[in-house]
Amino acid sequence: MAPAFIYLASQSPRRRQLLEQLGVRYELLLPDAGEDSESLEQVLPGEAPARYVRRVTGLKLDAALQRLQRRRLPPAPILCSDTTVALGRTIYGKPQDDADARRMLRELAGRTHRVLTAVAVAGGRRRLEALSDSRVTFAPLSAAQIAAYVAGGEPAGKAGAYGVQGRAAAFIPRISGSYSGIMGLPMHETAQLLRAFGFKT
């Protein structure tokens, strides 16, 4: 029998929207006030971007499984995801402030970078994961363009300091890979994982 719903352990409104697009019913399983979810995203010295994003997604899933147990919630599969931007082996997480966002965008301007999104689903004794790897090319950007974009507030909370579904789309002449993966939840890979858990997607 197919599960009735899935727990989504993510605060991202974009991931909710993409899960709704798949027609999957979900309940949010967000961190408790005392949980330090940011510390899970620390990069280890010399860590490769793909290894990093898969490790962080696994840690988020571990934390969500503990949360489910602690809250004594009804059992259901849990979905976690994490997205990172990489230029070579340099990992670009969420900007700390506006100055950090401007620095990231200056470094990404006029170049092609990778966007890696890992997805992991756990339910019962099963645990499956997938990785989406896309390329995004930025046009050259002036300091004024970068400053105006950052002033609009869009980079906050986004890996690489931009959202492909927002105003930054005007900076991007070319994408290769999964648009939904760049947004934060690759639809194809996610649907495959959910089907393995009995969902009809």
Residue 11 has pLDDT above 80, yes or no: yes
Considering the domain boundaries, does residue 201 fall inside one? no
Band (pLDDT 50/70/90 cuts) for residue 181 is: very high
151's tokens? 């002033």
**Average pLDDT of the segment spanning 168-184:** 96
pLDDT (0 to 100) of residue 32: 83
Q: Nearest 5°: phi and psi at 10?
A: -155, 140
Mean pLDDT of 32-51: 86
- 49 in a domain, yes or no? yes
Distances from the Cα of 61 to the Cαs of 31, 33, 37, 68, 154, in angstroms? 11, 17, 11, 10, 27
> Is 1 domain-assigned?
no
State how many domains the chain has.
Answer: 1
Check residue 10 and give its pLDDT. 92
Q: Are strands 26-28 and 6-8 parallel, antiparallel or unpaired?
A: parallel
Q: Is the pLDDT of residue 59 over 90?
A: yes
* Catalytic-residue membership of 82: yes
**How far is Cα 168 from Cα 179, in angstroms, rounded to an integer?**
13
Mean pLDDT of 152-181: 95
Q: What is the CATH number of the domain that holds 66?
A: 3.90.950.10
Mean pLDDT computed over every residue of the chain:
94
pLDDT tens digits for range 88-144: 999 999 999 999 999 999 999 999 999 999 999 999 899 999 999 999 999 999 999
Over residues 8-34, the mean pLDDT reads 91
**Cβ neighbours for 2, distance < 8 A, ≥ 6 positions apart:** 198, 199, 200
Output the pLDDT for position 185.
95
Tell me the H-state helices in 22-87.
49-70
Task: Domain of residue 40: give its range.
Answer: 6-196
The closest alpha carbon to 7, from 52, 93, 69, belongs to 69
Cα distance between residue 106 and residue 109, in whole Å: 5
The pLDDT of residue 34 is: 76
Residue of 82, 98, 100, 133 marked active site: 82
94 part of a folded domain: yes
With 80 as the cut, is the pLDDT of residue 39 above it? no
